[in-house]
């Protein structure tokens, strides 16, 4: 396999990526790139990051052999990379700790962020409390309604949560507002974007901070099985847990990588968030990538039972890996995700996030038709405590419906 070295110096992954931002932000984006490159070369930065990853977040987290689930499927061995065991309960904090340390290094005193499910918001509010940074979080009003627990967690941690009522009141609109806030406060504020999205260097930086997931997984599976897995499965909204998991395996072409998008009520209904499955190339939030858009180039609303996948775009690097076919992208419906969530609860005693449940469904179905000596790793990106009310009402709806 040839060496993989994306993005190029302009922040492009093939035709994807770039820096499509207003001039007011260009200087900030260029300064960020410079600061990030410097930090990467500085052993002291890595040491500090390592310290927080280990002693604050609790890494490394386990790669757990899901024996019951494996027996249930009767096929391939299923391993779970336990990102749900991180402090704050999801992979999001791998990125927020890295970016906030960078913000401190750059002398920024304030942080702005967007959040969908609230996991990124909580992870941001947490590191802001830790590092004594002011924190403003934009969240769609629809998401505030369905993720009240996380809203209160953010407030408890000292963040100011601002409700976004424009558009569909979900993640896309929260990103718009966070970017507007950044444009207006760029001199003292750093924007911690929550996924592998936005203008360069964000997609690269978020991938790099998240790639601790894939690095650990690689070492752990070699220790346990003395070989690499056959397939790795991760869910995709913007795509940060998947990118962090896949990146260290990209050159290992014998490992099949599968990204699972949210098919919502079903692709054919039009109510979904499956950007790579059913979208087209366009430009949004600073980056050229696949998007859900109408024939006039207006961005369409995404739909998913999981707030964290409810985004009409997908990171530029995923767009690139889709076109080069290194990663296979597929989709799973709300109903299938609900079933997978319950299966994981019953078989392994783990309540996964609804986002993660999409990956679980795909992996379980794959395991059923795979030989027993094959190995599948699922990126268990987050825990599902935040989703229990959504799941409850969805299951009640099923009974009554």
Q: Which residues are catalytic?
A: 92, 114, 381
Quote the least distance from Cβ 171 to other proteins, whole Å.
Answer: 12
Q: How far apart are CA 103 and CA 185, in angstroms?
A: 14
Each residue 154-173 as x (binds other proteins by CB under 8 A) or -, in order, gives ------------xx----x-
17 vs 75 by CB, closer to other proteins:
17
* Residue 291 contacts residue 281 (beta carbons within 8 Å): yes
* Residue 82 contacts residue 382 (beta carbons within 8 Å): no
Region of 72-80, 129-137, 221-229, 287-295 interacting with other proteins (CB under 8 A): 287-295
- The widest CA-to-CA distance across the chain, in whole angstroms, is 59
**DSSP helix, strand, coil percent of the chain (3-state; round to 5):** 50, 20, 30
Distant-in-sequence contacts of 251-254, Cβ < 8 A, 24+ apart: 251/1, 251/3, 251/4, 252/1, 252/228, 253/1, 253/326, 254/228, 254/230
Quote the least distance from Cβ 339 to other proteins, whole Å.
Answer: 34
Paired with 110 in beta bridges are: 134, 189
For 182, the token pair is 């950044």
Each residue 294-333 as x (binds other proteins by CB under 8 A) or -, in order, gives -xxxxx----------------------------------
* Residue 346 contacts residue 71 (beta carbons within 8 Å): no
Q: Which of residues 264, 286, 382, 384 is near other proteins by CB under 8 A?
A: 286
22 vs 270 by CB, closer to other proteins:
22
Q: How far apart are CA 258 and CA 188, in angstroms?
A: 39
Q: Which of residues 110, 146, 153, 285 is near other proteins by CB under 8 A?
A: 285
Paired with 289 in beta bridges are: 282
268 vs 298 by CB, closer to other proteins:
298
Region of 144-152, 224-232, 277-285, 333-341 interacting with other proteins (CB under 8 A): 277-285
Site for other proteins in 177-196 (CB under 8 A): 179-180, 183-187
- Whether residue 201 is preceded by a cis peptide bond, meaning omega within 30 degrees of 0, is yes
191 vs 246 by CB, closer to other proteins:
191
17 vs 264 by CB, closer to other proteins:
17
Quote the least distance from Cβ 37 to other proteins, whole Å.
Answer: 17
155 vs 280 by CB, closer to other proteins:
280
Quote the least distance from Cβ 280 to other proteins, whole Å.
Answer: 8
Rg (CA), the chain: 19
Q: How far is CA 245 from the centre of its chain?
A: 10
The answer to whether residue 270 forms part of the interface with other proteins (CB under 8 A) is no
Q: Is 397 helix (H, G, I), strand (E, B) or coil?
A: helix
* Residue 90 contacts residue 235 (beta carbons within 8 Å): no
Site for other proteins in 2-31 (CB under 8 A): 10, 18-28
List residues binding other proteins (CB under 8 A): 10, 18-28, 166-167, 172, 176, 179-180, 183-187, 280, 282-286, 291, 293, 295-299
């Amino acid at each position: 396999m040839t060496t993989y070295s994306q993005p190029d110096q302009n922040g492009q992954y093939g035709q994807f990526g770039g820096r499509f931002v207003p001039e007011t932000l260009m200087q900030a984006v260029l300064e960020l790139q410079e600061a990030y490159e410097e930090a990467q070369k500085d052993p002291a930065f890595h040491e500090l990051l390592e310290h927080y990853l280990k002693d604050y977040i609790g890494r490394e987290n386990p790669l757990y052999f899901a024996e019951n689930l494996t027996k249930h499927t009767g096929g391939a061995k299923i391993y779970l990379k336990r990102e749900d065991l991180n402090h704050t309960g999801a992979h999001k904090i791998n990125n927020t700790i890295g970016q906030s340390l960078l913000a401190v290094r750059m002398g920024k005193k304030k942080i702005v962020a967007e959040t969908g499910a609230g996991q990124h918001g909580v992870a941001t509010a947490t590191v802001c409390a830790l590092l004594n940074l002011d924190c403003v979080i934009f969240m769609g009003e629809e998401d505030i309604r369905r993720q009240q627990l996380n809203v209160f967690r953010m407030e408890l941690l000292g963040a100011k949560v601002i409700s976004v009522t424009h558009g569909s009141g979900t993640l896309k609109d929260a990103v718009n507002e966070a970017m507007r806030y950044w444009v207006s406060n760029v001199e003292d504020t750093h924007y911690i974007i929550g996924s592998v999205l936005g203008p360069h260097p964000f997609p690269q930086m978020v991938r790099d901070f998240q790639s601790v997931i894939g690095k650990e997984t690689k070492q752990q599976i070699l220790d346990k099985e003395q070989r690499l897995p056959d397939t790795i499965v991760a869910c995709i909204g913007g795509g940060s847990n998947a990118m962090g998991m896949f990146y260290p395996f990209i050159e290992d072409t014998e490992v099949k990588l599968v990204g699972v998008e949210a098919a919502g009520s079903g692709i054919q209904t039009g109510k979904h968030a499956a950007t790579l499955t059913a979208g087209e190339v366009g430009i949004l939030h600073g980056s050229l990538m696949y998007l859900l858009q109408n024939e006039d180039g207006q961005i369409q609303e995404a739909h998913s039972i999981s707030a964290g996948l409810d985004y009409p775009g997908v990171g530029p690097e995923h767009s690139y890996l889709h076109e080069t076919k290194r990663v296979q992208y597929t989709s799973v419906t709300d109903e299938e995700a609900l079933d997978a969530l319950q299966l994981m609860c019953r078989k392994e005693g783990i309540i996964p996030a609804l986002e993660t449940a999409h990956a679980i469904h795909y992996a379980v179905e794959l395991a059923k038709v795979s030989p027993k000596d094959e190995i599948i790793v699922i990126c268990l990106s987050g825990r599902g405590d935040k989703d229990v009310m959504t799941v409850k009402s969805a299951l009640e709806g099923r009974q009554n419906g």
